[in-house]
């Protein structure tokens, strides 16, 4: 046991744990089925990340992505439970994403690649007849 931790600090930790347990019970009434809600959030985040990485051609999340993903979290919560906070927070996160996204200009085309850059045309391979002895 760490001699630097005082008994008073342990009671604070215990109170935090007790408050967290109560919050979990209270929030499940507000947000609905936890596992299904988290599953939907995972699906939405996974899809968002896959599309963002594909269109950018890189595997990096930006602050605006986090704002978008938190908005998706609030959308999923609204599916499984009702709280006005889900709607207020959702549009708030979307507004923050707008603030965090630099405008595209000729000088700043953004981090998105064009379809031609993402999927360059490939030459069709030339098919030659195989000789029987090559197999």
Extract the tokens encoding 117.
Answer: 């850059």
Banded model confidence at residue 11, pLDDT cuts 50, 70, 90: confident
Q: Using the 8-state DSSP alphabet, how is residue 119 labeled? A: S
Three-class DSSP category at 98? helix
In-domain check, residue 134: no
Q: CA 42 to CA 102: how far, in whole Å?
A: 27
Number of domains in the chain: 1
- Residue 82 is assigned to a structural domain of this protein: yes
Of the pLDDT bands very low, low, confident and very high (cuts 50, 70, 90), residue 68 is: very high
The reply to whether 2 falls in a domain is no
- Which has more pLDDT, 108 or 51? 51
Crossing angle, helix 63-80 and helix 84-100, to 10 degrees?
Answer: 160
Residue 124 has pLDDT above 90, yes or no: no
Q: Which tokens sit at 7?
A: 């008994």
**Residue-range definition of the domain harbouring residue 76:** 33-100
Most confident of 6-15, 92-101, 119-128: 92-101
Residue 4, domain member (yes or no):
no
84, part of any domain: yes
Question: Is 91 strand, coil or helix?
Answer: helix
Q: Would you say the pTM of this structure is higher than 0.85?
A: no
The answer as to whether 81 is a domain residue is: yes
27 vs 113, which has greater pLDDT? 27
- The pLDDT of residue 135: 47
The reply to whether 107 falls in a domain is no
- Confidence class for position 109, pLDDT limits 50, 70, 90: low
Query: What pLDDT band is residue 41 in, cutting at 50, 70 and 90?
Result: very high
Mean pLDDT of 124-132: 59
Give the pLDDT score at 67.
97
Instruction: Quote the CA–CA distance of 118 and 113 in Å, as a whole number.
Output: 6
Q: Is residue 38 part of a domain?
A: yes
């Amino acid at each position: 046991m760490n001699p630097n931790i005082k008994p008073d600090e342990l009671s604070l930790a215990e109170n935090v744990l007790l408050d967290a347990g109560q919050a979990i019970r209270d929030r499940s009434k507000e947000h609905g089925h936890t596992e299904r809600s988290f599953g939907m959030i995972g699906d939405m985040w996974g899809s968002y990340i896959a599309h963002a990485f594909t269109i950018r051609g890189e595997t990096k999340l930006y602050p605006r992505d986090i704002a978008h993903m938190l908005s998706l979290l609030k959308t999923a919560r609204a599916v499984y439970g009702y709280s006005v906070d889900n709607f207020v927070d959702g549009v708030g996160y979307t507004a923050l994403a707008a603030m965090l996204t630099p405008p595209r200009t000729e000088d700043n085309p953004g981090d998105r690649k064009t379809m031609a850059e993402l999927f360059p045309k490939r030459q069709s391979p030339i098919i030659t007849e195989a000789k029987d002895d090559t197999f």
